[in-house]
Amino acid sequence: MSQMKRRTVLIVNGALFLIVLFWTIPTIGLLVSSFRDRADIQSSGWWTVLPNLAWQPTGNTLPLPEGQERDTPITIEGVTATFDEWRAGVDMGGGRRLVWVGNLRRGQIEEFRQNWSVNWNFTTTNYEQVTGGKEFVLTNPDGTTRVELGEDMVGAFINSLTITIPATIIPILIAAFAAYGFAWMTFPGRRLLFIIIVALLVVPLQIALVPILRDYSQLGLNGTYLGIWLAHAGFGLPLATYLLYNYISGLPKEILESAFIDGASHFTIFVRLVLPLSVPALASFAIFQFLWVWNDYLIALIFLGFNEGLQPMTVRIANLVGSRGQDWHLLTAAGFISVIVPLIVFFGLQRFFVRGLMAGSVKG
């Protein structure tokens, strides 16, 4: 390998590594924060689980200067600063900091030293609160206790699975039949129908929501699983048909002709030959459709948002942000729960992903 080619490979691999790193860091932060205590999240960043220099109290206190006013500078050990600066902490040099704790009259000055430390105070309480849906007694840093009501995300998790699995299977089955028909069957208007399906790829789903909502109101499908299954299936069919057509039309012609000579029907060929050979393309679209439906918020909010018993994870987490936006320990736990299933689906079908995308792109 020439020197120039090695340099090019190194640059490309380095750039890919940085991109992967930048995309992975937020996920790592989300995972770490989901296991941290509420007080730790509010006082320090998730990266403190790694060795870091931090200010730690030594237990030593200094006497307060007498006769000081809040609006006048305060001198301690030869260093002059305002009261607010002392409250925030003033570096005295040599890895030492003094912090005024409390008010001007009844506070105290505490000494802090900068030392290497790690914060491994992990807990599973956050996940218990998110999934339990019952009351929890939590202890504050000062020793006091409080009672909090957990969020029952188990129901929302099951709702997301109930919505996503059928909304992934339905368009795959319909699109597979349609793609086989366009690829290997001859009928009037085949080319025009295929052009219309491809043209639907550029139609934004937002412009169809109002007409669909009106039709659903007349048919009584609003707030039902059937309604959102049909909506997701309809929006996913154009891409699924186009993707599967590229793959199915590229299957070896000799295999299908041999099956026809042996007297096999189109349905038998489709079930016995085409579907098993199209697993890479089916898995590739399944990843797209599953991730899209699982992470969907707009369609779920419009068709199921008012029915709390059917709300998926995305809608419940959005409501959680509005009602408990300051509780990062709960938001991170709920967020990582919603990420687990897409990660399992992606890594489980990853080996089919590239094969399915490349299928039919190059012929001859």
Paired with 238 in beta bridges are: none
Same-domain status, 163 and 310: yes
Same-domain status, 97 and 236: no
Predicted pLDDT of residue 364: 40
- Residue 144's alpha-carbon distances to 138, 141, 187, 299, 330, in angstroms, are 9, 7, 76, 44, 20
Looking at the predicted structure, is the pLDDT value of residue 361 above 60? no
Last residue of a domain, one of 117, 145, 165: 117
Predicted pLDDT of residue 104: 66
In terms of average pLDDT, the best of 131-135, 265-269, 306-310 is: 265-269
Tens-digit pLDDT profile for residues 253-275: 888 888 888 888 888 888 888 88
Same-domain status, 29 and 61: no
d(CA 76, CA 66): 11
Pairing of the two strands 90-91 and 79-81: unpaired
Same-domain status, 107 and 213: no
The count of C-alpha atoms lying within 13 angstroms of the C-alpha of 318, restricted to the half-sphere facing its C-beta, is 13
Predicted pLDDT of residue 141: 54
Same-domain status, 25 and 57: no
Same-domain status, 237 and 300: yes
130-147 residues labelled b (16+ CB within 10 A) or e (exposed)? bbbeeeeeeeeeeeeeee
Same-domain status, 222 and 87: no
- Residue 353's alpha-carbon distances to 69, 226, 279, 308, in angstroms, are 69, 29, 10, 35
Looking at the predicted structure, is the pLDDT value of residue 114 above 70? yes
Structural domains in the chain (count): 3
In this prediction, residue 363 has a pLDDT band, given cuts at 50, 70 and 90, of very low
Phi, psi of 3 (to 5 degrees): -60, -40
314: domain CATH number is 1.10.3720.10
SS3 114: strand
Range of the domain at 253: 154-358
User: Quick one: average pLDDT of 174-199?
Assistant: 89
User: Considering the domain boundaries, does residue 324 fall inside one?
Assistant: yes
Least confident of 183-187, 261-265, 301-305, 321-325: 321-325
Structure letter (DSSP) for residue 46: G
Predicted pLDDT of residue 362: 46
User: Considering the domain boundaries, does residue 148 fall inside one?
Assistant: no
Last residue of a domain, one of 65, 97, 117: 117
Paired with 299 in beta bridges are: none
Cβ contacts of 77 within 8 Å, gap of 6 or more: 62, 92, 98
- What average pLDDT is seen over the chain? 81
Same-domain status, 182 and 232: yes
User: Considering the domain boundaries, does residue 149 fall inside one?
Assistant: no
Predicted pLDDT of residue 34: 86
User: Considering the domain boundaries, does residue 347 fall inside one?
Assistant: yes
Predicted pLDDT of residue 210: 86
In this prediction, residue 347 has a pLDDT band, given cuts at 50, 70 and 90, of confident
User: Considering the domain boundaries, does residue 216 fall inside one?
Assistant: yes
Same-domain status, 159 and 299: yes
- CA 107 from centre of chain: 45
Tens-digit pLDDT profile for residues 217-237: 888 888 889 999 999 998 889
Same-domain status, 325 and 287: yes
User: Quick one: average pLDDT of 29-43?
Assistant: 83
Looking at the predicted structure, is the pLDDT value of residue 307 above 50? yes
Same-domain status, 20 and 67: no
Same-domain status, 256 and 328: yes
